[in-house]
Amino acid sequence: MAEPLIAILDFGSQYTQLIARRVREQRVFCRIYPWSVDVATLSKEPLAGVILSGGPASVYEKDAPRLDPRVLELGVPVLGVCYGMQSIAKEFGGTVERGTQGGEYGRATLEVVRPNPLLRDVPTTSTVWMSHGDSVTALPAGYTLLARSPTCPFAATMRDDGRVYGIQFHPEVTHSAYGTQILSNFLFDVCHAQGSWTMGNFVDQAIDKVRATVGPQGRVVLGLSGGVDSSVAAVLLHRAIGDRLDAIFVDNGMLRKNERHEVEHLFRERFPVRLHVVDASEQFLADLKGVVDPEHKRKKIGHRFIDVFKDEAKRCAGAQFLAQGTLYPDVIESTSATGGPSVTIKTHHNVGGLPKDLGFMLIEPFRELFKDEVRQLGALLELPETVLKRHPFPGPGLSVRCLGEVTRERLDVLREADAIFLEELRAAGWYEKTSQAFAVLLPVRSVGVQGDGRTYGHVCALRAVTTEDFMTADFAPLPFDLLGRVASRITNEVRAINRVTYDVTSKPPGTIEWE
Ligand code: XMP
């Protein structure tokens, strides 16, 4: 019998993923659905409860995401958060209005006015995090006030049968002092969730699901990049269907030092999947001849990757499915109620960036997971730490770090410098303290002196950043002696480079890659 789950309906809040994470932290499985999910779909799931997320819209706006009132008839408890609460009010006869002072953002004091299961063990006054323009100004019939704040008369409410709750604040953010307690009350006291879910359960469920989808004969291809997501996906799929998985690794000539060898070793010796290594470096480099514009480079690489992948996939006779290590943050960008990012800063390409018309059915076992959860999963599947703790590496590889024309010679110079930097970082214990670190080869030369002679060599920049989400980043405060050691080794061991610099720009205004 499948584990009961909490369905989170996403109304476009930036915090939806955080709700999911908080629920899973309490060992309750949850799944995020778009707000428009068919109620019939939900009714087929073994639900323990439903959480309605917040969202940026106003419930009375034309085209605002609308709560299907039948969600409240599914027979399980419902918790509406912010927009979720306002949607309940709107659908059942309450009113929602724009705040006279333009809304409420930040910390507020919650005052509990009536004891109730949702706010059990929450003191009479506590701090909560508010972030809303509208608020409920009249409750639907049959609802009771549970708590208020100075500017929000209905900060927490309950339907009189104790099965439906609404809260205007965000329990999922850590600024809400009793947020975890409130979510736990909802999960366990109201929904009677079991709290026995673990990543181990997820492995079993995911394997069962893959087997059910693929069937006893079906075959799957997977684009393996050697990064965390595709590596964990490969191992999981291999456990599920063994030799009916074909993993395709494309060597585009822009990999880091030893990268191809490491992937081959891991997936031939340790996890013997049916691995196709395609050396297409000649074709990629031929495409890039004379190209210096970063976007142009990305497009060439993206197109070539698709062609190479397609050709190789054709060799995997009978494959009907394509597995991708898509994570939740990737999913939400394409389905969020607010739409994706408004401007293209860089055209991202990765192995998940294959077009939809390749003719395969998609399998995405990690659609509901966050990066660190995929790492946990990888650890359970016994992938080595070196893979699980790897920094991310962009799909177009070293090409985005080789500024100016990308040639085999320049890539070789960059590869060596990069390998020295990473080796020294690891030796000094800094690799794990940074989120991403690499060398960049600049398209300029500078004068230097070596021995008694003048040199006119390449310039290399080192970049190391710390970041939570890669949307913003700080430069890593690497010790000077470490930087000095790296510079000295690079200029001595990579003859073409005579100058090394360290990038101390944060993002924004810089980006992590240089391009
Ligand atoms: P930027 O340079 O935009 O990078 O600050 C943010 C993060 O994205 C990675 N990146 C990519 N990843 N395909 C990828 O899979 C790409 O085309 C790509 N471009 C940048 C970058 O390494 C950093 O982690």
Band the pLDDT of 342: cuts 50, 70, 90.
very low
Cα 455 to middle of ligand 1, angstroms = 34
HSE (side-chain half, CA atoms, 13 Å) at 379: 8
Closest CA to 254 of 421, 440, 408, 420: 408
For residue 1, what pLDDT is reported? 57
Band the pLDDT of 495: cuts 50, 70, 90.
very high
Atom from ligand 1 closest to the CA of residue 347: 17
Q: Where does the chain hold its CATH 3.40.50.880 domain(s)?
A: 5-190
Distance CA 240, CA 252 (A): 29
Average pLDDT over residues 99-110: 80
On the question of pLDDT at 224 being above 90, the answer is: yes
Q: Let me know: does 282 contact 326? Beta carbons within 8 Å.
A: no
CATH class, domain 199-388, is alpha beta
On the question of pLDDT at 69 being above 70, the answer is: yes
DSSP conformational letter for 411: H
> Helical H runs in 343-445?
371-380, 385-388, 408-427
> Helical H runs in 250-315?
259-265, 281-288, 294-315
Is there a catalytic annotation at residue 82? Answer: yes
Atom from ligand 1 closest to the CA of residue 298: 17
For residue 174, what pLDDT is reported? 85
Which residues share a beta bridge with 500?
Answer: 460
Average pLDDT over residues 505-509: 92
Distance CA 458, CA 401 (A): 14
Is there a catalytic annotation at residue 170? Answer: yes
Atom from ligand 1 closest to the CA of residue 352: 15
Cα 344 to middle of ligand 1, angstroms = 12
For residue 427, what pLDDT is reported? 98
Distance CA 398, CA 337 (A): 35
For residue 450, what pLDDT is reported? 87
Is there a catalytic annotation at residue 172? Answer: yes
On the question of pLDDT at 351 being above 50, the answer is: no
Which residues share a beta bridge with 130?
Answer: 106
For residue 388, what pLDDT is reported? 96
- The residue among 456 and 151 whose pLDDT is bigger is 456
Distance CA 113, CA 78 (A): 21
Run of H or E residues at 34: strand 30-34
Catalytic choice (30, 82, 191, 316)? 82
For residue 468, what pLDDT is reported? 81
Distance CA 24, CA 90 (A): 29
My answer on whether omega of the bond before 508 falls inside 30° of 0, hence cis, is: yes
For residue 449, what pLDDT is reported? 93
Amino acid letter for position 61: E
Closest CA to 171 of 207, 131, 201: 131
Cα 348 to middle of ligand 1, angstroms = 7
Cα 299 to middle of ligand 1, angstroms = 14
Distance CA 253, CA 417 (A): 16
On the question of pLDDT at 409 being above 60, the answer is: yes
Share of the chain above pLDDT 90, in %: 80
Catalytic choice (104, 152, 172, 349)? 172
For residue 348, what pLDDT is reported? 54
Q: Where does the chain hold its CATH 3.30.300.10 domain(s)?
A: 407-502
Cα 397 to middle of ligand 1, angstroms = 10
Distance CA 62, CA 80 (A): 21
Q: pLDDT tens digits, residue range 283-330?
A: 999 999 999 999 999 999 999 999 999 999 999 989 999 999 888 767
CATH number of 407-502: 3.30.300.10
Closest CA to 24 of 45, 5, 51: 5
Atom from ligand 1 closest to the CA of residue 351: 15
On the question of pLDDT at 341 being above 90, the answer is: no
Q: Determine if the pTM surpasses 0.75.
A: yes
DSSP conformational letter for 139: P
DSSP conformational letter for 140: P
| H helix and E strand count, the chain | 14, 20
Tokens of 394: 């962009």
Run of H or E residues at 77: none
Q: Residue 155 — φ and ψ, nearest 5°?
A: -90, -25
Tell me if residue 395 falls in helix, strand or coil. coil
Question: Cβ < 6 Å from ligand 1: which residues?
Answer: 346, 348-350, 392, 394-396, 436, 470, 507, 511-513
For residue 23, what pLDDT is reported? 95
Chain position carrying tokens 């930036």: 14
On the question of pLDDT at 361 being above 60, the answer is: yes
For residue 337, what pLDDT is reported? 40
* Nearest residue (CA) to ligand 1, atom 7: 470
* Nearest residue (CA) to ligand 1, atom 20: 394
5-190 topology per CATH: Rossmann fold (3.40.50)
